[in-house]
């Protein structure tokens, strides 16, 4: 059985605050995203945060999708972790549009690569800006594609992910 998985960590900013605070809408978006990514939904658990926001997870046969939102900051922290033939980038496309995000920062990690040696590899770290459709690749080894099919534009020379803290 193949253990190889692909994990997208995504930070959405400049999102529509009313969407981020709407539990039913967030749950519907995340379930739509799970289907778009070609996963099979097992369970969906969503809860309101106090005083604002939503936290939730869609458990799928191919791993999970999670979201935590801060409407007061227009911010959502999302993970798409899938195995097999699923396509987490398609889930990202659903969320970036559904949240009305101005910007997404995406780290892609390959997991389950080896059971005796290094098992994780950082594939890419990129930023997409939807206002002006600018795509900035922070760093990458293997090249990466943004969710909507555009290839991310390399920005400067590839930098280590563990460069000096960025503020």
| Active site residues per annotation | 63, 68, 83
Cα–Cα distance between 107 and 99 in angstroms, integer?
19
d(CA 130, CA 105): 11
Q: Which of the stretches 23-31, 32-40, 87-95, 138-146 binds its own copies when contact is defined by CB under 8 A?
A: 138-146
Question: Shortest distance, CB of residue 16 to its own copies, whole angstroms?
Answer: 14
Q: Looking at 9-17, 20-28, 88-96, 148-156, which segment touches its own copies (CB under 8 A)?
A: 9-17
DSSP state of 151: B
Residue 151 C-beta-side C-alpha neighbours within 13 Å: 6
Stretch 25-64 residues interacting with its own copies (CB under 8 A): 42-43, 45, 47, 49, 52, 55-57, 59, 61, 63-64
What burial letters (b/e) apply to 100-131, b meaning 16+ CB within 10 Å? Answer: bbbbbbbbbbeeeeeeeeeeeebbbbbbbbbe
Using DSSP, state whether 1 is helix, strand or coil: coil
Minimum CB separation of residue 28 from its own copies in Å reads 18
Cα–Cα distance list, 31 to 26, 57, 104, 148, 154 (Å): 9, 9, 20, 19, 32
Is the distance from CB of 58 to CB of 30 less than 8 angstroms? yes
State which of residues 27, 37, 39, 81 lies at the interface with its own copies (CB under 8 A): 81
Among 25, 35, 38, 68, binds its own copies (CB under 8 A): 68
Query: Near its own copies by CB under 8 A, which window of 17-25, 28-36, 84-92, 114-122?
Result: 114-122
Backbone phi, psi, residue 34, to 5°: -60, -40
**Is the Cβ of residue 22 or residue 79 nearer to its own copies in the bound state?**
79
- Chain residues that interact with its own copies, rule: CB under 8 A: 1, 3, 5, 7, 9, 11, 13-14, 42-43, 45, 47, 49, 52, 55-57, 59, 61, 63-64, 66, 68, 70, 72-75, 77, 79, 81, 83, 105, 107, 109, 111-122, 124-125, 127, 138-142, 158-167
């Amino acid at each position: 059985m193949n253990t190889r998985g692909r994990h997208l960590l995504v930070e959405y900013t400049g999102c529509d605050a009313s969407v981020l605070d709407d539990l039913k809408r967030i749950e519907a978006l995340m379930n739509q995203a799970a289907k778009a990514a070609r996963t099979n939904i097992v369970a969906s658990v969503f809860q309101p945060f106090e005083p604002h926001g939503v936290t939730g997870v869609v458990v799928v046969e191919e791993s999970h999708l999670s979201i935590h939102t801060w409407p007061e900051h227009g911010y959502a922290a999302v993970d798409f972790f899938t195995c097999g033939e699923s396509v987490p980038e398609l889930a990202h496309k659903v969320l970036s549009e559904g949240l009305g995000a101005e910007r997404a920062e995406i780290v892609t990690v390959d997991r389950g690569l080896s059971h005796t040696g290094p098992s994780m590899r950082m594939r890419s770290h990129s930023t997409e800006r939807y206002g002006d459709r600018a795509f900035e690749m922070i760093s990458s080894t293997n090249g990466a594609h943004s969710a909507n099919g555009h290839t991310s534009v390399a920005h400067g020379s590839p930098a280590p992910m563990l460069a000096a803290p960025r503020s």
